[in-house]
Chain A
Amino acid sequence: MEIFNTIANGLRDWLMGSLGFSATATEIITTAVWTLVAILFVMINLIILVWMERKLAAYFQLRRGPNRLGPAGFLQFPVDIVKVLGKEDIIPANADRFIFKIASTCAFITSLTAFAVIPFSEGVALLQNLNIGIFYFIAVGSTATLSLLMGGWSSNNKYSLLGGMRTVAQMISYEIPMVFSLLGVVMIAGSLNLTDIVNAQKNTWFVIPQLIAFIVFFIAATAELNRGPFDLAEGEQELVAGYMTEYSGIRWAIYMIAEYGNLVASSAIISIMFLGGWNAPFGLTFIPPFLWLMLKIYLVIFVFMWIRWTLPRIRIDHLMHFGWKFLIPVSLANILVTGIGVYVYRMITL
Chain B
Amino acid sequence: MDLSLLTIEIATVLLAIGVLVIGLLIPREQRFGLGYLVTIGLAIILFVSFGYYGINATAFEGMYYVDDFSIFFKQLILVAAVLVTLAATLYVKKMGTNYGEFFVMTVFAALGMMVLSSAGEFITLYLGLETMTISFYILTGFKKNDSKSAEAGIKYLILGAMSSGILLYGLSLVYGMTGTTVISEVAVKLAEMGSLSPAMVVGMVFLVAGFGFKISAVPFQMWSPDVYEGAPTPVTAFLAVGSKAAAFAALIRVFMIAFPDYSLQWKMLFAALAALTIIIGNLVAIPQTNIKRMLAYSSIAQAGYIMTGVIAANAAGVRGVAFYGMLYVFATIGAFTVVMNFSANTGSDEIRDYAGLARRSPLLAAVLTVCLLSMAGIPPLAGFAGKFYLFSSIVDQGYLWLVIIGLLMSMASVYYYLSVAKVMYMADPVDDSPIVVPAGAKAVLLITMIVTVFLGVYPQPLSVLANLAANSLFF
Direct contact of A and B (CB under 8 A): no
